[in-house]
Amino acid sequence: MESHDGGPPPYPRGETPPPPSGGRAARLLLAGITLALFAAMLAADALGSTGLEETSLFYVGIPALIAVTVILTARPKNAVGVALATTTVGLALAGPLLDEGVVCLIVAAPLFYGVAAFVGLVVQAVRRPGHRALVAAPLLLLVALEGVGGVTVIPRQDAASATVTVSATPVHVAAALAAPPEFGPYEAAFLRSLPFPKPVRANGSGLAVGDTRLITFNPRRSLGLGSTSTPRSMELRVVEAVTTAAGGRVVFDVTADSTFARWLDLRSAVVTWTTSGDTTRMTWRLDYARTFDPSWYFGPIQHHAVGDAAGYLAETFADMAEAG
């Protein structure tokens, strides 16, 4: 059926014209990507200035904004592919423009890609006549609001621990804990695969209440334009100590931290050890508070990383105790 003015027939109700092709489509796509990245940078700056850069509104809202903007503006044939490609460009620009480090980008990248792909699939589905995929929008909005106003799904307070068997007496274990640690390379695959902060040296000794440790880490090198490396360290103080010939318990409070403060709030380290036949069982527990959202994503990642850190400390002091 032709239209009344003799033009081509209109598109059936519920359907939309196909995206433009050729040079016009390429120009439209480029414009859509540019607009999406510009909107994302404005959103990131706004969230950072209001203290919401650690909430789901940043880590879920921004990739969703990128995907929706580029898809609705450029109307590409493959919405998911274009959303993922634009997200890749955005992540490449995030380090220099937002002064982020490699660790933050690597950890957050799967979440950004997942949200972008999800939004792309939803938008593609909504374009089909009669499809009700738009009901996913309220769910995405609900997820993106976690962390705003302190709201969280999973409790922020958490702890991770590791236990090792030491071929030494409890007295040797106590002596090792009282001495400045001798740090070696990470053995855990997760810590080795990321440019995770590495302890370099420690100053301070003793297990009496009030004794301190100052641990120096390798400098932080961000990807920001013109940025320079900044020193990182952590200070701990003994707040509880019980040592006997059969075992003991020591609690270190974290009094200052410029190493992990951007990622989590490390509160304390609790070390317990007890004799077990001819060996000694030593357990390190690290208490911390998660600061990033969404909790279902960053919660397991941070718990795993802190558990690996507890294992690293346990192995470090076990080696020192076994060395006499």
Instruction: Answer yes or no: is 122 within a domain.
Output: yes
Beta bridge partners of 90: none
Is 50 exceeded by the pLDDT of residue 170? yes
Same structural domain for residues 171 and 315? yes
Beta bridge partners of 271: 250, 284
- The answer for 99, left when phi > 0, alpha when psi is -120 to 50, beta otherwise, is left
Domain that holds residue 101: 22-149
Helix axes 61-74, 136-144, angle to 10 degrees: 140
Instruction: Answer yes or no: is 16 within a domain.
Output: no
What 8-state DSSP symbol labels residue 9? P
Instruction: Answer yes or no: is 2 within a domain.
Output: no
Which of 149, 173, 192 represents a domain boundary (last residue)? 149
Task: Return the pLDDT at 1.
Answer: 43
Same structural domain for residues 167 and 310? yes
Task: Return the pLDDT at 131.
Answer: 58
Instruction: Answer yes or no: is 54 within a domain.
Output: yes
Is 80 exceeded by the pLDDT of residue 111? yes
Higher pLDDT, 60 or 32: 60
Instruction: Answer yes or no: is 136 within a domain.
Output: yes
The percent of residues in the chain predicted with pLDDT above 90, rounded, is: 43
CATH of the domain at 314: 3.30.530.20
Is 90 exceeded by the pLDDT of residue 251? yes
Least trusted range by pLDDT, from 54-68, 187-201, 308-322: 54-68
Same structural domain for residues 46 and 161? no
Which of 149, 178, 193 represents a domain boundary (last residue)? 149
Task: Return the pLDDT at 171.
Answer: 95
Same structural domain for residues 138 and 169? no
Mean pLDDT of 72-81: 75
Q: Is the peptide bond before 294 cis (omega within 30 degrees of 0)?
A: yes
Q: Which residue has the tokens 């589905």?
A: 125
Same structural domain for residues 126 and 243? no
- The total of other beta-carbon atoms located within 10 Å of residue 134's CB is 11
Which of 100, 119, 149 represents a domain boundary (last residue)? 149
Q: Which amino acid is located at 57 in the chain?
A: L
3-state secondary structure of 71: helix
Same structural domain for residues 117 and 253? no
The percent of residues in the chain predicted with pLDDT above 70, rounded, is: 84
Report the range out of 74-83, 130-139, 284-293 with the highest average pLDDT.
284-293
Same structural domain for residues 161 and 144? no
Same structural domain for residues 63 and 122? yes
Q: How far apart are CA 95 and CA 105, in angstroms?
A: 7
Nearest 10 degrees: Cα torsion 96, 100, 102, 103: -170
Same structural domain for residues 64 and 169? no
Task: Return the pLDDT at 209.
Answer: 97
Beta bridge partners of 56: none
Q: How far apart are CA 53 and CA 174, in angstroms?
A: 42
Mean pLDDT of 118-124: 81
Angle made by CA atoms 116, 144, 157, in degrees to the nearest 5: 120
Higher pLDDT, 95 or 279: 279
Mean pLDDT of 110-125: 85
Same structural domain for residues 46 and 193? no
Instruction: Answer yes or no: is 7 within a domain.
Output: no
Higher pLDDT, 151 or 241: 241
Which helix (DSSP H) or strand (DSSP E) does residue 75 occupy?
Answer: none
Structure tokens belonging to residue 108: 């957050």
Q: How far apart are CA 113 and CA 62, in angstroms?
A: 11
Same structural domain for residues 246 and 278? yes
Mean pLDDT of 271-299: 94
Angle made by CA atoms 265, 271, 277, in degrees to the nearest 5: 155
Instruction: Answer yes or no: is 167 within a domain.
Output: yes
Task: Return the pLDDT at 4.
Answer: 46
Work out how many domains the chain is built from and give that number: 2
Structure tokens belonging to residue 170: 């409890």
Note the pLDDT tens digit of each residue in 181-207: 989 999 999 998 887 889 999 999 999
Same structural domain for residues 187 and 55? no
Instruction: Answer yes or no: is 10 within a domain.
Output: no
CA-closest candidate to residue 47, choices 55, 35, 39: 55
